[in-house]
Amino acid sequence: MTTEVNFEVTESDREGMPVLSVRGEVDVSTAPELRERLLALAEGGETTAVVDLSQVSFVDSTALGVLVSGVKRLRSEGGDLRLVVTEPRISKVFEITGLTDVFKIYASADEAVRA
């Protein structure tokens, strides 16, 4: 589903685990779609999921808030939210904000699924 030309979230299943692949910029105008997709997974009974941010070029504080809410929700159900981050600028945001202590971050979706 696309809300803007520079943002897209697609869902796939890898080895029985949902993977949300995000492309573009995740900011105040696009983060609500990611929030809805994460909520739908949790409400659908999923307890562990992967969000693949390898094609994301920008995240703002709204995006980080959505991801933190998602990980809290899934962990409250005994699961987890695993992130794929490969872009150095995005990795730096997670490091600076201390969110590398909150999230398990992987180099690929396959690695995250198998963890």
The residues spanned by each domain of the chain are 7-114
Q: Pick the residue with more confidence: 5 or 18?
A: 18
89 pLDDT above the threshold of 90: yes
Name the residue with tokens 């897209």. Answer: 8
The tally of CA atoms less than 13 A away on the side-chain side of residue 17 is: 22
pLDDT (mean) for 72-78: 96
Query: How sure is the predictor about 21, in pLDDT bands with cuts at 50, 70 and 90?
Result: very high
pLDDT (mean) for 81-103: 97
pLDDT (mean) for 19-25: 98
Q: Is 88 exposed, middle or buried (0-12, 13-18, 19+ CB in 10 A)?
A: exposed
DSSP state of 16: T
pLDDT (mean) for 15-39: 97
Which pLDDT score is estimated for 3? 44
Q: Indicate the average pLDDT of the chain.
A: 95
pTM summary value: 0.93
Query: How sure is the predictor about 5, in pLDDT bands with cuts at 50, 70 and 90?
Result: low
Comparing CA positions, the residue from 18, 25, 2, 28 lying closest to residue 87 is 25
pLDDT (mean) for 27-42: 96
Query: How sure is the predictor about 6, in pLDDT bands with cuts at 50, 70 and 90?
Result: confident
Task: Tell me the CATH number of domain 7-114, given options 3.40.50.920, 3.30.750.24, 1.10.3720.10, 3.40.640.10.
Answer: 3.30.750.24
Distance CA 55, CA 57 (A): 6
User: Are 39 and 22 in contact, with CB atoms under 8 Å apart?
Assistant: no
